A = this chain, B = another copy of it.
């Protein structure tokens, strides 16, 4: 079983409007309601790929109930979310029909109490016993201490479960020092962590902070991986056009399944790049096109970079 953690889940609403004009009234033409938060997205992709997947984290209130209903309806993910007294936050993405551009409004979410955090840690520790890999994903909700991911990385390592960390800012900085097996920063997170905008240099520098392997996602240029086996670069066969929502979560899903299966690195990276591109190509945000995935997979270029570069 593969486990994903989403401490700051959200009920994601997408509102379609002809065009967003500040300080006017808009009739929303379409409303889409989806369970959101990086770890839930990763879990859905893994379940679509046929992996037995469990999602934990927090959910509460009326919005939490809707999130759990939607998760149950649309995926085979097992729901092990821990109940909070406060209601799960909403995010609203206003999509302009004309331009295709999106405006985001993110609610702050409820403050998690010390008792709820303790209940989560117990649930997490129990779930680790059956897990072949675990991913810790996204931002921390109010009330949770900034070293929370470091604490969860140590629990996973103590249980000998390979652990992937996908977050940003101070939680990433603290978490990486607890020596996770894998971190997956994007170019922006990498620059904030290391102070360097040179991807190769920053990826190596991030690894020096404690992660066994660092896989940097460089958008349309693919992935750059630095680990004990050396440096690898994986690039898609061609630039793909579409909706990049969820592409990063698909990279995490592919890398996490690779951690669980012990797949060789070049194949792991090829899967991650192909799955990410197949997600961009899907007409539904956050889902992937299985035909495109199969077609792209053999065409991803993975090359070893010289260590001295």
Of A36-44, A97-105, A124-132, A290-298, the one with at least 4 CB within 8 A of chain B: A97-105
A17 close to B (CB within 8 Å): yes
A62 close to B (CB within 8 Å): yes
Bound: A187/B231 CA distance, A: 71
For the complex formed, measure the closest distance between the CB of A9 and the CB atoms of chain B, giving whole angstroms.
Answer: 15
Bound: A62/B99 CA distance, A: 32
Nearest CB in chain B to that of A33: its residue: B87
Per-residue 0/1 for A10-35: is the Cβ within 8 Å of any B Cβ (1 yes, 0 no)?
Answer: 00000101001111111111010000
Q: How large is the interface on A (under 10, 10 to 19, 20 to 34, 35 or more residues)?
A: 20 to 34
Interface residue from B22, B31, B102 paired with A20 (Cβ < 8 Å): B22
Q: Contact between B31 and A101 (Cβ–Cβ < 8 Å)? A: no
Q: Contact between A17 and B105 (Cβ–Cβ < 8 Å)? A: yes
Q: Copies per complex? A: 2
- For window 83-109 of A, CB contacts with B under 8 Å fall at 92, 94, 96, 99, 101-108
Bound: A63/B21 CA distance, A: 26
Interface residue from B92, B99, B102, B106 paired with A92 (Cβ < 8 Å): B92
Interface residue from B15, B31, B99, B108 paired with A31 (Cβ < 8 Å): B108
Residues of B within 8 A of A103 (CB): 20-26
A65 close to B (CB within 8 Å): yes
A66 close to B (CB within 8 Å): yes
Q: Contact between B25 and A106 (Cβ–Cβ < 8 Å)? A: yes
- Residues of chain A touching chain B, judged by Cβ–Cβ distance below 8 Å, are 15, 17, 20-29, 31, 62-63, 65-66, 92, 94, 96, 99, 101-108
In the complex, besides A22-B101, A25-B106, A26-B104, 8 extra interface pairs with C-beta distance below 8 angstroms are A15-B92, A15-B107, A21-B22, A23-B102, A25-B104, A27-B106, A28-B107, A62-B65
